[in-house]
């Protein structure tokens, strides 16, 4: 048996012993005596009597251990030309002061703070400062529109919002303050204060009284010590798209999260203290939470915050320049980023001149790594390219090739094997565990390991109905797939109405809700269709009301989605169709629509009786 098999088997045979051992890598203010509380299934709590502070584990203890001068955070912003490195001592100093300032504004343990920010160091400092106080942060991705921000504000009810004067995209400046104003106007539970980081050269007027200037706040603040919290206290709430328009607030605890992430840094990513780890994602996504902010810092590594794109800032050599400049040891990105680099630089000419000898592994996740992109990356980088599969809900990889434990030969198209603690099963429709090779719903037998979601914010019932009811005793991932005879998992895609555009998770239901409000639209459906670069794109199909005018319709609908959901939806494809296929009970058959749009010969239901209508619908769908 190899190292992996021993570890994996041990993790399932005696999960308490396994995670108790992993928990010794964390500094506890009260060491947990109980490892798993399984007294209230399907709710499970890890380390129920443990007490710790996540920020102290990410910063203070490294400084105390003599690593204060080591780089903790490297900020590189090609969109502004700014580069800055924070040592552990500096990052701790800023974070402790920020925590003091937040406390002076009334933030205490258990209070929520919404963070709506671009990729600047203050975003990381704000998150860590919340953790230091035992407050709960909820980061909202900057590409979401005010309405989406308002929905999250009303759900999580923050005491304050931390934001910046603007975000800087290569094509334009994103003005945050008008969006904050709109969101606060829409929200029924507005925060008491907004803290605003004024970006260099982009000072904006703020509403004195309610609004607080970050720099002034920091100048007056005194540093505060970390507040010990229960391991089961929430560290953050991160909203993600479900099948409906209402996002799900994934709740992450402190203790399980710290234990699990540390385990992954060493065993999955092969990262030790002092190594440089770069997750080219955004702090608004789970990858940013786990692997820009918490994972690398918990591990005593150096993390990288990159405010740029894979291409255009300034060219497709941007990632290679970063690796060269900071001697990066591991890069984590989304397959989309590799596809867009490859499109602009198919022969990877932009690699020339950069020293990539520090880079040991390239990790990808967020969407399926297609074999073509895999082969391209391996050919040009000549290092292991590791696909791994996970979700906002789990916070860390469900399946991976654990490079710090045992490297497996890669099977392109597979994220390799289940990670410790994840009893992955493929369930058939009647809920039985299926044998190797058969496709079905990918489920995880409960309990899931530490670090996975504890529940949904203020919605225990929805947590159960969304994930745990379909197959009692199992967590439903929402992905379909199979396990082959060698134990490799193959993830084939979502089985629900969630889509993945450029590694960004979106709800087709949310887009439909926007389209349906247009006065000319009688009914609509939104499906994910294949896109060569972004993996998937959202495509809208609308049926018009009798006599409705469709002039400007497409432009209007595209604008509505951008205004209501945000630029991140990248919604551009809309077609008027004569009818939508439905079940007898009136449910729109999105699966049939997806199948036809993807070129499969799906049978149309008998609810559309007119052959010419059917033919027209087919023609529109297959036109692409």
Residues of this chain that interact with ligand COA (CB under 6 A) are 142-143, 167, 169, 171, 174, 281-282, 285, 287, 309-310, 334, 336-337, 340, 365-366, 502-503, 567-568, 570
Question: What is the smallest separation between the CB atom of 152 and ligand COA, expressed in angstroms?
Answer: 15
Closest residue by Cα to residue 523 from 506, 545, 507, 501? 545
Please tell me the distance from the alpha carbon of residue 243 to that of residue 571, in angstroms, as a whole number: 17
Question: What is the smallest separation between the CB atom of 280 and ligand COA, expressed in angstroms?
Answer: 6
Residue 564 binding target from ligand COA, ligand AMP, none, CB below 5 to 8 Å by type = none
Please tell me the distance from the alpha carbon of residue 488 to that of residue 207, in angstroms, as a whole number: 55
Please tell me the distance from the alpha carbon of residue 478 to that of residue 437, in angstroms, as a whole number: 19
**Locus of tokens 């499906």:** 527
User: In this complex, which beta carbon is closest to ligand COA, that of residue 389 or of residue 474?
Assistant: 389
Residue 142 binding target from ligand AMP, ligand COA, none, CB below 5 to 8 Å by type = ligand COA
Residue 174 binding target from ligand COA, ligand AMP, none, CB below 5 to 8 Å by type = ligand COA
Question: What is the smallest separation between the CB atom of 458 and ligand COA, expressed in angstroms?
Answer: 26
Q: Which residues, other chains included, contact 549 with Cβ-Cβ below 8 Å and sequence gap of 6+?
A: 520
Residue 440 binding target from ligand AMP, ligand COA, none, CB below 5 to 8 Å by type = none
User: In this complex, which beta carbon is closest to ligand AMP, that of residue 152 or of residue 388?
Assistant: 388
User: In this complex, which beta carbon is closest to ligand AMP, that of residue 98 or of residue 238?
Assistant: 238
User: In this complex, which beta carbon is closest to ligand COA, that of residue 96 or of residue 365?
Assistant: 365
Question: What is the smallest separation between the CB atom of 291 and ligand AMP, expressed in angstroms?
Answer: 12
User: In this complex, which beta carbon is closest to ligand COA, that of residue 19 or of residue 319?
Assistant: 319
Question: What is the smallest separation between the CB atom of 619 and ligand AMP, expressed in angstroms?
Answer: 30
Q: Which helix (H) or strand (E) holds 108?
A: none
Residue 389 binding target from ligand COA, ligand AMP, none, CB below 5 to 8 Å by type = ligand AMP
Site of interaction with ligand AMP (CB under 6 A) = 240, 286, 365-368, 387-392, 415, 477-479, 491, 494, 500, 505
Closest residue by Cα to residue 19 from 295, 238, 268, 264? 264
Residue 328 binding target from ligand AMP, ligand COA, none, CB below 5 to 8 Å by type = none
Residue 482 binding target from ligand AMP, ligand COA, none, CB below 5 to 8 Å by type = none
* Nearest residue to ligand COA, scored by beta-carbon proximity: 503
Q: Map residue 485 onto helix, strand or coil.
A: coil
Question: What is the smallest separation between the CB atom of 467 and ligand AMP, expressed in angstroms?
Answer: 12
201 secondary structure, DSSP code? T
User: In this complex, which beta carbon is closest to ligand AMP, that of residue 273 or of residue 595?
Assistant: 595
Please tell me the distance from the alpha carbon of residue 16 to that of residue 51, in angstroms, as a whole number: 17
Instruction: Give the helix, strand, coil percentages of the chain, each rounded to 5.
Output: 35, 25, 40
Question: What is the smallest separation between the CB atom of 155 and ligand COA, expressed in angstroms?
Answer: 21
User: In this complex, which beta carbon is closest to ligand AMP, that of residue 479 or of residue 523?
Assistant: 479
Is-contact 140 115, C-beta < 8 A?
yes
Question: What is the smallest separation between the CB atom of 499 and ligand AMP, expressed in angstroms?
Answer: 9
φ/ψ (deg, to 5) at 152: -70, -40
Q: Which residues make beta-bridge pairs with 333?
A: 364
Question: What is the smallest separation between the CB atom of 345 and ligand COA, expressed in angstroms?
Answer: 13
Is-contact 119 307, C-beta < 8 A?
yes
User: In this complex, which beta carbon is closest to ligand COA, that of residue 11 or of residue 500?
Assistant: 500
Q: Put the strands of the sheet holding 535-544 in their side by side order.
A: 521-531, 535-544, 573-576
Q: Which residues make beta-bridge pairs with 282?
A: none
Please tell me the distance from the alpha carbon of residue 343 to that of residue 448, in angstroms, as a whole number: 39
Is-contact 454 232, C-beta < 8 A?
yes
Q: Which residues make beta-bridge pairs with 160?
A: 113, 193
User: In this complex, which beta carbon is closest to ligand AMP, that of residue 182 or of residue 496?
Assistant: 496
């Amino acid at each position: 048996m190899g190292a992996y098999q021993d570890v994996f088997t041990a993790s399932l045979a005696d999960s308490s012993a396994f995670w108790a051992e992993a928990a010794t890598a964390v500094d506890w203010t009260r060491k947990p005596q109980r490892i798993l509380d399984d007294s209230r299934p399907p709710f499970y709590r890890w380390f129920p009597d443990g007490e710790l502070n996540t920020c102290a584990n990410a910063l203070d203890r490294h400084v105390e251990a003599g690593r204060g001068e080591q780089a903790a955070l490297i900020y590189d912003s090609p969109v502004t030309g700014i580069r800055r490195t924070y040592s552990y001592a500096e990052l701790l100093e800023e974070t402790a002061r920020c925590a003091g300032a937040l406390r002076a504004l009334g933030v205490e343990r258990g209070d929520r703070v919404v963070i709506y920010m671009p990729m600047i160091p203050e975003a990381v400092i704000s998150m860590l400062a919340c953790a230091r106080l035992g407050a709960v942060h909820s980061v909202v991705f900057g590409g979401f529109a005010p309405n989406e921000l308002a929905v999250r504000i009303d759900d999580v009810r923050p005491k304050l919002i931390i934001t910046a004067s603007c975000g800087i995209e290569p094509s334009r400046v994103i003005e945050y303050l008008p969006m904050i104003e709109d969101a606060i106007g829409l929200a029924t539970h507005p925060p008491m204060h907004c803290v605003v980081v004024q970006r260099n050269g982009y000072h904006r007027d703020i509403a004195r009284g309610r609004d607080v200037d970050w720099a002034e706040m920091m100048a007056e603040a005194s540093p505060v010590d970390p507040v010990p919290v229960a391991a089961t206290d929430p560290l953050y709430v991160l909203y993600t798209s479900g099948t409906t328009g209402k996002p799900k607030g994934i709740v992450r605890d402190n203790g399980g999260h710290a234990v699990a992430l540390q385990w992954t840094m060493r065993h999955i990513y092969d990262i030790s203290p002092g190594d440089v780890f770069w997750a080219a994602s955004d702090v608004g996504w789970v990858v940013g939470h786990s692997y820009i902010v918490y994972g690398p810092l918990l591990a005593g590594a150096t993390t990288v915050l990159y405010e740029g794109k894979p291409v255009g800032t300034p060219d497709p050599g941007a990632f290679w320049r970063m690796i060269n400049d900071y001697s990066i040891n591991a890069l984590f990105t989304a397959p989309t980023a590799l596809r867009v680099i490859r499109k602009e630089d198919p022969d990877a000419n932009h690699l020339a001149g950069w020293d990539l000898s520090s880079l040991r592994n390239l990790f990808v996740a967020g969407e399926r790594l297609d074999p073509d992109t895999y082969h391209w990356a391996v050919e040009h980088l000549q290092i292991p390219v590791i696909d791994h599969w996970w979700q906002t809900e789990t916070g860390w990889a469900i399946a991976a090739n654990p490079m710090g434990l045992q490297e497996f030969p890669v099977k392109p198209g597979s994220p390799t094997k289940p990670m410790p603690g994840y009893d992955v099963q493929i369930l058939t429709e009647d809920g039985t565990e299926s044998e190797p090779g058969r496709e079905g719903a990918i489920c995880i037998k409960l309990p899931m390991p530490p670090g996975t979601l504890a529940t949904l914010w203020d919605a225990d019932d929805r947590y159960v109905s969304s994930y745990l009811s379909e197959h009692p005793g199992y967590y439903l991932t929402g992905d379909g797939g199979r396990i082959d005879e060698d134990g490799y998992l193959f993830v084939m895609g979502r089985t629900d109405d969630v889509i993945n555009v450029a590694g960004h998770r979106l709800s087709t239901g949310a887009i439909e809700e926007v389209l349906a409000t247009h006065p000319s639209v009688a009914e609509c459906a939104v499906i994910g269709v294949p896109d060569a670069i972004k993996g998937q794109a959202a495509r809208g199909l609308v049926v018009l009301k009798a006599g409705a005018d469709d002039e400007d319709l497409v432009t209007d609908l595209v604008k509505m989605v951008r205004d209501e959901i945000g630029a991140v939806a990248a919604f551009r494809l809309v077609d008027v169709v004569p009818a939508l296929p439905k079940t007898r009970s009136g449910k729109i058959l999105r699966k049939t629509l997806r199948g036809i749009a993807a070129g499969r010969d799906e049978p149309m239901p008998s609810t559309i009786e007119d052959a010419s209508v059917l033919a027209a619908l087919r023609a529109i769908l297959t036109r692409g």
